[in-house]
Every structure is written in structure tokens, then in C-alpha cells.
Structure 1
Amino acid sequence: MSIPSAARYLLILALAVFATLGPARPLCANSPAGATEPKWKEVRIASEGARPPYNYLDNNELAGFEIDLGKALCQRMNVTCHFIMQDWDAMVPGLLDHQYDAIMAAMEISDEAREKITFSEPYARMPSAFVTARKSQLKDFSPAGLAGKAIGVVAGGAHQAYVEDVYGKSDIHTFPTLEDAILDLAEGRVDVVMGDKDEVTDFLDKNKEGQCCRTVADVPRDPAYFGEGIGVGLRKEDKELKSMFNKALADIKADGTFTQIRAKYFKFEID
């Protein structure tokens, strides 16, 4: 059966239009036109499992503050998390080798580390604290208030540098360990000890010798001595993932999720 010339002309015209426009592509009901699929659907996070309470092993599984925090961040980013245990010395090389995508291992943000990787905003800034004997009447821990007083610190670290520069009118005593400093504090050989608040609190809570003393005040934060804090380590090129972590961190701090996780592991503020 032959097709009339007029009908044949209309059919050819319709086929030409179809070829030009292509088949119709239905839009997903919850995806606006022009939307792109997110790049990150899974994120592999490395941790050491050797720095409690930040990270440790529980029945050979990674656990701790950073693991709970990482899970909350991944949930907020709407990605699937996989946690990978990694030795500290291989932590940054493994990230750069794409063995995982992020590091949450109590890693301090520093200029030296930034030469190779980048960081999210800090999620922990460990305060330093002053410790005195329970019977001490000291109340002023400013440089003027501790002028002439004996301050104990662990030798060779940030606290020694800080007290030598800021508390120049005090008598500075250095010790091999925090325990040695607190034992001298208990014996009255120093008036006050300065140390990281997590280490100080842990010692006072878990050791009989710690019953002598108490934390009395936080040391004013000075990044020049005590650093910027702890953040998520990331490859420099993964700018989208960095933005995702930063937004998720801001969100869980705003809605109280961060505080709930922090309170499980620390008795004091760390951010």
C-alpha cells in the first residue's frame, strides 16, 4: 500500500525533528533539572586505635571519640563510612596513596603536616590546665599571680616553652613525666603543675597519688604554643570532601550532637 505524497512528507518531517531533539529523558522526581550526582557516596576513614579516648581497639574493632564522631559526620554527609586501622607512621602516605580518604587519628593541625595534606576545621582543641594540691589557697593563675611561685611542667614540650616565655617571674621546674611533676606537687616542692587537661584528669582520676590534687583553672589558649587543634586529615585535591566535613561538623555542633558525643569521652569542653 503506497503512502500519499503529503502524508509521506509529514512523516519525513516528524522523523527529522525527532532525530534533532532526541528521545525525551524523564527527570527524577526529587532531582531538579541540571542536578549532578554527588561524587562522594562512600568515605574510608583511617585511625590508629592506639590513642584513647580519641581512638582505641574494643574487641579488635576501632572505637572511641573519633570513631563515634566520624559516624555522626558521615551520617550528616549522607555517605557510607568504612573505618580502616592504620599504623601512625604510614598514616599520611596511605592517604596520599588513596588507600583511604580521610584521617581521624588525633592528628594535630600543623604547618609541617600542611606541606603534604590539608585539614578540616578543628574538632578538638585540648585545653591545658593548672593543678594544685587540694589544700592550696592559690586563686590567681595569671603571670602576676604566680610570680615567685614554683611551676612544674614536663620537660621539652609546649608547656615548658609557654611558662618560660609567659611566666618569667615564676620558678620553673621541669620533670620527665607528668606523674613526677604531680608527685612533687603533692610533696609541696612545687606550687602548681601545668599539663594537658585530658592527661591531668586521667591521672588524677585513675591513680591513688592523684587524690592529693585537683584541677583549678584552664590555661589561656595560645595557638602559637599549643597549636590549632585536631582536625580531619584530607588530600589537598579533595576540596569537595573538605567542604562536606566542615559543613557536617558545623551542623552537629549546632544541634547538640557533638556535645553528646564529647560528653561520653571527656568531662570538659574540647572545642
Structure 2
Amino acid sequence: MAFAVLALLNPFDAGAADQKTVKIAVEGAFPPFNYLDSNQQLQGFDVDIAKALCDAGKLTCEFVIQEWTGMIPSLLAGRYDAIISSMSMSEERRQKVTFTKRYYDSPTVFISRRNNALQGFNPEDLQGVRLGVTAGTSQEAYVKQFYSTASVTVFPASPDLYKGLAEGAVELILEDKLAVYDWLTNTKAGSCCVFKGADIKNPEFFGDGAGIALRPDDRQLLQTMNAALDTIQADGTYDFINAKYFPFEIR
């Protein structure tokens, strides 16, 4: 497998001395979680969480930008020590790497046009309702399992799903909350629509959230990262970072 060249950016010292630098991989292309700003500096929720963890764990850390498909192979090859890049803790990945505790979770939600009068979102409430999902997603599998009486349209990609809702091809869509949040809040088309109903969290379909990926034998770093995560969640640092990027809790 070919690997992208690793770009080392913004080394930062969290106060540790005479210890190995911990290299942390991010993709740098997934706003608002990790991205390069106009000055080519890393920004985002993942980046701020990583800095806070290194500070709490008294680690000297350095960021590495890594193309997504090479994330786990490069970790296992020792090119860096941790992945803090919105990586979901799937069973397939757990067979290759060790994950810390979850550091955020993105529920699945229904979204409709603002003028839609739908109130209930149980399967019996949505019988015959035109419901959209994206092909190959956990949301598609969930709808097929629980909402078979809805009139389901499967769109090839998320932009098509959002367009279908905005233009009225479907009445309701089911989507990852954080994935659709930027469209709802930062695009003209997305202003048509709003979240509906309660957040849906089902580990069988939607996983256990995002964790920090480490090599399986790196037990000391696992212990340090988990302890640091406990610290920033207890002292308010996590909530401060959460509020900087999202007006709702994503723990």
C-alpha cells in the first residue's frame, strides 16, 4: 500500500521534559473536527481535544497530517503514536488497534423541512412517509430494519440526500447529526430544514462513538490518554471545547 508523505505541523510542549514526543495523526480535511485554516494551521475539535489531552497528560506532542486510508497502517508501522481524527470505534478497527474511551459520540437524527407537521417518529408514525437515507450507511440499514413500512428512497450520497429533502423529493431524512449539522447551519439550502425528534443512539447500528486509536501494545499511552480524558471531562475543558464548535453536547 502506498502512503502519503507525513506533514509535521505545530509541535507543542505540554510541559513534559526528557520524554519521547507523542506524534498524533489527524486527517486535516474534516471540518469542523480537523482542518487547515487559511494560514495552513491545524484547527478543529479533534485538534483542540488533542492539545488538551497532551496538556492534562503532561505529554510533549506533535501533529502529523495523514491521508485517511493510510491512518491505521501508518499507526501500526510506527509513523506516529495515536490517531485523534474522528475515528469511529468499529468492530473491524478494534481487530487492528486499541481504542481509548469514547471522546465523542454523534447520534443519528431525523431532519425535515421546517413546515413539516410530523410529530411522532416511531415506525408506526412513519408508515407511508417519504423517508430518505444515503446508500451504504448505517442509517440505511437501520431504516430497513425498523421502518420498512415507510416509503424509503435511497440516495447515492449525502449531498443528494440533502438536496432531496430541500427540494421536497422526501419529507424526512435520517442522518448522522454532526454530518448534517454544517449543512443545516452554514448553507442557504440547509436553512429550509430542522432536526426532528430525539437523538437515536443504537450501538449495534451506529457504533460506540469516536475514540483515540493506539497500537495494541502501547498500554502506557492508553492509560495516560484515558486518564487525561477523565481529567478534561471533569474540569470543564471538554465542555468548553464542545461549546466552541457545537451548540449541543456530543459526549
- Residue 209 in 1 paired to residue 195 in 2? no
| Contact preservation (8 Å) 1:152, 1:193 | yes
Give me the TM-score of the superposition, normalised by structure 2: 0.86
Give me the TM-score of the superposition, normalised by structure 1: 0.80
Counterpart of 1:52 (choices 17, 31, 47) is: 31
Q: Which has the larger radius of gyration?
A: 1
Structure (1 or 2) with the greater strand fraction: 2
| Contact preservation (8 Å) 1:119, 1:232 | yes
Q: CA deviation at 1:52?
A: 1.1
Distance in 1 of aligned mates of 2:137 and 2:81: 31
Deviations 1:218-258 (A, max 9, x none): 44211111111111110111112111111111121122211
Partner SS state of residue 140, structure 2: helix
Q: CA deviation at 1:41?
A: 5.3
What's the counterpart of residue 150 of structure 1?
Answer: 130
Identify unmatched segments of 5+ residues in structure 1. 1-37
Distance in 2 of aligned mates of 1:88 and 1:211: 30
What's the counterpart of residue 153 of structure 2?
Answer: 173
Distance in 1 of aligned mates of 2:239 and 2:124: 35
Change (3 A) 1:202 1:68: same
Distance in 2 of aligned mates of 1:135 and 1:97: 52
Q: CA deviation at 1:206?
A: 2.4
- Residue 257 in 1 paired to residue 237 in 2? yes
| Contact preservation (8 Å) 1:62, 1:85 | no
Identify unmatched segments of 5+ residues in structure 2. 1-16
Distance in 1 of aligned mates of 2:129 and 2:158: 18
Q: CA deviation at 1:40?
A: 5.8
Deviations 1:145-204 (A, max 9, x none): 212212111122111110110112211111123333333334443221111112222112
Return 201-210 or 76-85, whichever deviates more. Answer: 201-210
Between Structure 1 and Structure 2, how many residues are aligned?
A: 234
Alignment RMSD: 1.9
Aligned pairs for 1:108-127 (under 5 A) are 108-127=88-107
- Give 1:128's aligned amino acid: T
- Residue 133 in 1 paired to residue 126 in 2? no
Partner SS state of residue 211, structure 2: coil
Distance in 1 of aligned mates of 2:155 and 2:242: 30
Distance in 1 of aligned mates of 2:80 and 2:18: 15
Distance in 1 of aligned mates of 2:56 and 2:20: 12
- Give 2:29's aligned amino acid: A
What's the counterpart of residue 96 of structure 1?
Answer: 76
Partner SS state of residue 232, structure 1: strand
Distance in 2 of aligned mates of 1:78 and 1:256: 18
Distance in 1 of aligned mates of 2:119 and 2:170: 15
Deviations 1:95-128 (A, max 9, x none): 2222221111221112211222111011111111
Partner SS state of residue 130, structure 1: strand
- Give 1:209's aligned amino acid: A
Partner SS state of residue 244, structure 1: helix
